Chain A
Amino acid sequence: MIELDCRGLKCPLPVITLARRIAEAEPGETVRVLADDPAARADIPAWCRMKNHDYLGEPEPGTYEIRKKSS
């Protein structure tokens, strides 16, 4: 699992970081994003929807999990 520490980054930088680094993940692999910008809560799930990745949820506040699409 890849973990991206985006704490301290303001919107839209956490989503940009995620979009750049998702390339490093294998298809189906989980990527975890740590982000404390309040916009991440809306924007990470929205990005997943727009890019067809699976948004897995926010297991704890400020931690977001994404599963990279399989192809």
Chain B
Amino acid sequence: MADIAARAYLDAASSAPLHPVARQALLAALDDGWADPARLYTEARRARQLLDAARETVAGVLAARPDEVAFCASGTQAVQLAVLGGLGGRRRAGDLLVHSAIEHSAVLHAAESHVSGGGRATSVGVSRAGAVDPAEFAAAVRAPGVALAALMTANHEAGTVQPVAEVAAECSAAGVPLYCDAAQSVGRVAIPGGWSLLSASAHKWGGPPGVGVLVVRKGVRYRSPLPADERESGRVPGFGNLPAVVAAAASLRAAESEREAEAGRLWPLVDRIRREVAASVPDVEVAGDPVARLPHLVTFSCLYLDGEALLHALDARGFAVSSGSSCTSSTLTPSHVLEAMGVLSHGNVRISLHRGTTEHDVTRFLAELPGIVADLRATAGVSGL
């Protein structure tokens, strides 16, 4: 077995390791932020100040107003509320949701829920590189009865950055609000403007789990799909996890201050992975846009390999990665993202780096991968096919 100390965690897109600043802020807020921030005594006011400060921090990073930001129980909850609340607010304008084919499954499941309630949804396809065509997306948005458009800032499996600014301008011209799932972008790249609703998830930027962010711009119609509750401007029910929210905000501030330096460090490491995997592993397809991409994420697929076997072999050698191959999904269907891009879905590996990833981790991965793939192909009897 590989020494645990030699492990390289390369799955930040699933969940980034906790930022040290988040840990400090969480411990401090557990002591200071336990009271109900909605009450009117000293302990409550202290909690309220922590919550307000967290909201201002997050709003500042997202170029939003504090009263546009609501904290949710998870990124998924933020997605669901953004989609369903955005649609609900525009019920009089129409019932059609336009979304890209490569949205996160949380968006697609919210779309299914909308459709099962009698609404309609249209999916816009993507290029082989994994980007929507702004003209095609705009044409779908100009159809009659469009209530909401949904386009992620960057894809979680391929890393391809979407043309949000151009699409936002088209949506604005058509009078349709644009919702952006920014889960993979916040704290990693600059967030484009022009959106009406946005969601993010703290554990993707090094914050604690269990904190989502929902931003609804002033003047955007929003109707909560949930029963009334006075918390978070009536958008998110229940007594929030204030210590986690404080930690999320503190780690976002830290990630944002390190953002450009980290992107500059991780970008060439991903370039190196893209180049060396293509050169050293036979019959491999490196997917996603090589330039219009996130700085920290890359995916590739190895012909004739079972993604689950590859994932386990890498784990045994000390590498934590994820896969979009069907054998690794609970539904046994391949990743809808890889399918929409038309790239090979089996033998798939996604690598996503973080502030703790070293050049040595990448060097070791690149040194071991060709042998691991060759061994698995030899075992499966598919070498030289």
Contacts and interface: CB of A to CB of B under 8 A. Distances in A.
Interface of A: 10-12, 15-16, 19-20, 37-39, 41-43, 45-47, 50
B345 A39 contact: yes
Contact of B385 (A16, A37, A38): A16
B344 A38 contact: no
A50 B283 contact: yes
A39 B303 contact: no
Given A12-B306, A16-B382, A20-B385, 16 more contacts: A12-B347, A15-B303, A15-B346, A19-B304, A19-B385, A37-B326, A38-B332, A38-B333, A38-B334, A41-B339, A42-B338, A42-B345, A43-B344, A43-B345, A46-B344, A47-B303
B344 A47 contact: yes
Select the residue from B283, B303, B327, B332 with max chain A CB neighbours within 10 A: B303
B285 A46 contact: yes
Select the residue from B326, B332, B344, B346 with max chain A CB neighbours within 10 A: B346
A15 B304 contact: yes
A7 to B, nearest CB: 15
Interface string B310-349: 0000000000000001110000111000110011111100
Contacts of A37: 326
Contact of B342 (A15, A39, A42): A42
Nearest to B347: A12
- Chain A interface secondary structure, helix, strand, loop or mixed? helix
B339 A12 contact: no
Nearest to B334: A39
B305 interface: yes
20 contacts: A10-B327, A11-B306, A11-B327, A11-B346, A12-B303, A12-B304, A12-B305, A15-B303, A19-B304, A38-B326, A39-B346, A42-B334, A42-B342, A42-B345, A43-B345, A46-B342, A46-B344, A46-B345, A50-B283, A50-B344
Contacts of A11: 306, 325-327, 334, 345-346
Contacts of A43: 334, 344-346
Interface of B: 283, 285, 301, 303-306, 325-327, 332-334, 338-339, 342-347, 380, 382, 385
Select the residue from B333, B342, B385 with max chain A CB neighbours within 10 A: B385
A33 to B, nearest CB: 15
A20 B338 CA distance: 24
Contacts of A15: 303-304, 346
A20 to B, nearest CB: 6
A10 to B, nearest CB: 7
Select the residue from A11, A19, A50 with max chain B CB neighbours within 10 A: A11
A38 B332 CA distance: 8
B304 A42 contact: no
Contact of A45 (B332, B342, B347): B342
Nearest to B283: A50
A43 B306 CA distance: 12
A31 to B, nearest CB: 15
Nearest to B284: A50
Contact of A50 (B285, B306, B327, B380): B285
